[in-house]
């Protein structure tokens, strides 16, 4: 332990060893104090997070550098590439092989040969000894340049490797990256090759960019909440599903991050749970995705709903949360993809400038050497060397011979220039062509003029560079993922009815497992149930096998959230002996399992009438008052269509303060939805009259006629007496 961590004798953690006087010990806490921080920094900087300069993790950079080192235009066995890369990467062959396959599958930097797996099916690549790879022409052009590369020693000090590669392209955004470090993670999604180049051109022209991801697996994506790839953003990607006929669907493209295997497994899982009705699934995927889905006869009646169910309950739709974390200036930063594009574009411009400056220096050096050679030969200075006996005499003779012509040169003549002239061979001197030498100098001067012009117009030069990249490598890289906007699918609306709702009114229970009790309607296990009791209370709860919903049920049915078309029409008594109130309302914006009160909340309040209808077909109810002195009008007609429809929290209007003898429903609304009907059918479903158990009218009314009658006007009448 002491060899790994030196002990500081001045450390406050130092203690004298009582067993061995004079010897010092160090507290464990002091030795481990910075180890975790060191480990976290190492994982972040050297393992998981890409550098913004070249868009690569260290393992990827080392693989590409190793392949460039081995580059001879021919394919190399992947096993050989892995072995050579181990000189630079200290984490074993498995991590190198996995990273190499991932780079190869992105079809940008590496030309592959053999079975490299399938991104559609998730099939893995063949063993490294069976597959081959070489750098692509694109990689050779934009990724490597030893003259502009900054080098460092490898982990064992035996070799040198690049700090970052001089990439002249937004490679990070083109390939995408995922990595999990200590305390943070990075997930940059891949973007379209052509759009990235056009985006870089727009950056150089001062235009605003708005990049959207593009996936090799295609699909349809909603990027409305992408947030430029920053934390907190979210995108939704859907498979492309085509209708062959009413009974057959075909999945042609799958979402990013899924495989045909995972999609099929998620579909079968949904079928097993009864959420989707599908007869058979076939995987015919080869080079392109093709998953054939044969619908069940029930689902084939509405294939559009079946498609929505596939999106809702399977991996035909996935949600992806980006997190563009990168390394810049030796520390992690969270930058938007548009900011990363700007940094990459500026980096490309700087590299192009550096390459031009290096090329200018090389051309000026070449012009200088050719000019010296021209003077040395044409002025026959080499002949003066014949009489020289020492090296110093040779140097002095060359210097004296060149001196009259130095004003024509562009840089000072140094000792190395004289040495180089002495190395000219007799054959070269004897075959010297003055005209050809002059033409060469003129060509160098033209190249220098062009280089200087590009340096003076660096922005235009960079724009032309990107345009040339697009021309050479853009073919076949068009966008595959369709940008769209689609609504969130409500699962409860597209799920197949895989359950049945039953109710036991006497005990106050409801659920899909009570098969011996009263059947209400078909439903799904994602539905909510609303139950209204005679005291004016109601709750909405998730459907269960068996759940208590309350006794004295006045209404129980499947509840649709934010449904403002289902209208409730209610007459209630406010407290014991209190006034009679009337209200018309809709129910929305509720919290599950919370008890709500539809009355004013006074003790002894009770529902006298409750009917469910649509917004325009409210019922008409005649309210008969008990006779009393001086009370002439004993019948009050309530037309709920004339009542304002308000929120459930509204207390309603006072109908009368006198006692009621009976209520008679004259018509309108849905038959069987009154207080004695027990259950209100969904307005979209043709309702059936439901007989009322005695418990349903306990403490509120006793019906003098339990059976709905038809009046002279042909409308249904329900009579309630008090």
Per DSSP, helices labelled H in 457-609 are: 458-473, 491-494
H helix count then E strand count, the chain: 17, 37
Give dist(CA 402, CA 418) in Å, integer.
10
Secondary structure of residue 328 in the 3-state scheme: strand
Q: Which among 675, 681, 709 has a CA at the least distance from the CA of 695?
A: 675
Nearest residue to 101 via CA among 86, 121, 79, 72: 79
Measure the CA–CA gap between 440 and 373, rounded to whole angstroms.
12
The residues that are catalytic are 130
Residue 535: C-alpha distances to residues 78, 132, 571, 595, 597 (Å):
77, 78, 12, 12, 8
Beta-carbon-side half-sphere exposure of residue 407 (alpha carbons within 13 Å): 1
Q: What residue has token string 């009154």?
A: 674
Residue 167 near residue 149 (C-beta atoms within 8 A): no
What are phi and psi for residue 344, nearest 5 degrees? -60, -40
| 3-state secondary structure at position 27 | coil
Q: Judge whether 554 and 693 are in contact, CB under 8 Å.
A: no
Name the nearest CA neighbour of 186 among 325, 56, 45, 335: 325
Q: For 480-509, what is the HEC assignment?
A: CCEEECCCCCCHHHHCCCCEEEEEECCCCE
Q: For the sheet with 132-135, list strands across it.
A: 76-77, 132-135, 110-113
Distance CA 385, CA 393 (A): 8
From the list 189, 186, 246, the residue with the least C-alpha distance to 213 is 189
Our CA dihedral for 324, 325, 326, 327, rounded to 10 degrees, sits at 170
Q: Which residues neighbour 345 within 8 Å (Cβ) at sequence distance 6 or greater?
A: 170, 200, 203, 204, 462
């Amino acid at each position: 332990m002491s060899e790994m961590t030196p002990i500081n004798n001045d450390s406050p953690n130092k203690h004298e060893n009582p067993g061995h006087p004079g010897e010092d010990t160090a507290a464990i806490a002091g030795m481990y104090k910075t180890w975790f921080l060191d480990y976290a920094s190492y994982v972040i900087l050297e393992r998981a997070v890409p550098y913004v300069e070249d868009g690569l993790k260290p393992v990827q950079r080392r693989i590409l550098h190793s392949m460039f080192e081995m580059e001879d235009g021919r394919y190399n066995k992947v096993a050989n590439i892995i072995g050579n890369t181990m000189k630079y990467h200290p984490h074993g062959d498995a991590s190198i092989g996995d990273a190499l396959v991932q780079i190869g599958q992105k079809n940008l930097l590496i030309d592959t040969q053999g079975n490299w797996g399938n991104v559609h099916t998730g099939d893995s690549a063949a063993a490294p000894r069976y597959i081959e790879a070489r750098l692509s022409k694109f990689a050779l052009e934009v990724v490597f340049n030893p003259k502009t590369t900054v080098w460092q020693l490898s982990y064992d000090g035996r070799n040198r490797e690049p700090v970052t590669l001089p990439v002249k392209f937004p490679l990070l955004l083109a390939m995408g990256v995922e990595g999990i470090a200590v305390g943070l993670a990075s997930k940059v999604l891949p973007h379209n090759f052509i759009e990235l180049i056009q985006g870089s051109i727009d950056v150089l022209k001062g235009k605003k960019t708005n990049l959207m991801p593009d996936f090799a697996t295609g699909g349809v994506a909603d990027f409305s909440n992408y947030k430029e790839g920053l934390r907190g953003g979210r995108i939704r990607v859907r498979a492309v599903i085509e209708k062959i006929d009413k009974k057959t669907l075909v999945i042609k493209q799958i979402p990013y991050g899924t495989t045909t295997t995972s999609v099929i497994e998620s579909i079968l899982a949904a079928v097993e749970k009864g959420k989707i009705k599908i007869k058979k699934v076939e995987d015919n995927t080869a080079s392109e995705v093709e998953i054939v889905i044969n619908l069940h006869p029930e689902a084939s009646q509405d294939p559009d709903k079946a498609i929505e169910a596939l999106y809702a309950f399977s991996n035909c739709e996935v949600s992806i949360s980006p997190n563009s974390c990168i390394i810049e200036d030796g520390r992690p930063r969270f930058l938007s993809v548009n900011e990363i594009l700007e940094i990459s574009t500026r980096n490309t411009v700087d590299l192009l400038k550096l390459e031009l400056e290096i090329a200018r220096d090389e051309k000026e050096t070449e012009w200088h050497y050719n000019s010296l050679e021209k003077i040395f030969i044409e002025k026959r200075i080499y002949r003066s060397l014949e009489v020289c006996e020492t090296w110093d005499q040779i140097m002095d003779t060359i210097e004296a011979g060149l001196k009259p012509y130095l004003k024509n040169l562009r840089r000072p003549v140094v000792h190395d220039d004289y040495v180089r002239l002495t190395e000219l061979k007799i054959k070269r001197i004897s075959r010297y062509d003055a005209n050809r030498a002059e033409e060469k100098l003129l060509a160098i001067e033209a190249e220098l003029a062009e280089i200087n012009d590009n340096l003076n117009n660096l922005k235009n030069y960079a724009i032309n560079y990107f345009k040339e990249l697009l021309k050479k490598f853009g073919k076949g890289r068009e966008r595959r993922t369709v940008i769209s906007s689609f609504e969130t699918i409500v699962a409860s609306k597209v799920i197949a009815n895989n359950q049945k709702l039953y109710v036991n009114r006497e005990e106050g229970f409801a659920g899909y497992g009570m098969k011996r009790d009263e059947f209400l309607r078909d439903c799904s296990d994602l539905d909510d149930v609303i139950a209204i009791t005679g005291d004016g209370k109601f709750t909405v709860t998730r459907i269960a096998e068996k759940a208590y919903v309350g006794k004295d049920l006045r209404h129980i049915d499947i509840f649709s959230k934010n449904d403002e078309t289902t209208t409730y029409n209610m007459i209630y008594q406010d407290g014991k002996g209190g006034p009679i109130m009337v209200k018309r309302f809709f129910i929305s914006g509720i919290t599950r399992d919370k008890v709500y009160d539809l009355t004013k909340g006074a003790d002894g309040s009770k529902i006298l009438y409750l009917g469910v209808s649509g917004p325009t077909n409210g019922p008409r109810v005649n309210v008969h008052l008990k006779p009393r002195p001086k009370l002439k009008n004993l019948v009050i007609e309530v037309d709920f269509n004339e009542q304002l429809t308000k929120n459930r929290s509204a207390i309603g209007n006072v109908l009368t303060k006198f006692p009621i003898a009976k209520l008679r429903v004259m018509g309108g609304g849905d038959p069987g939805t009154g207080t004695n009907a027990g259950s209100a059918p969904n307005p979209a479903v043709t309702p059936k009259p439901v007989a009322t158990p005695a418990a349903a009218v306990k403490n509120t009314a006793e019906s003098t006629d339990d059976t709905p009658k038809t009046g002279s006007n042909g409308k249904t009448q329900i009579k309630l007496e008090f």
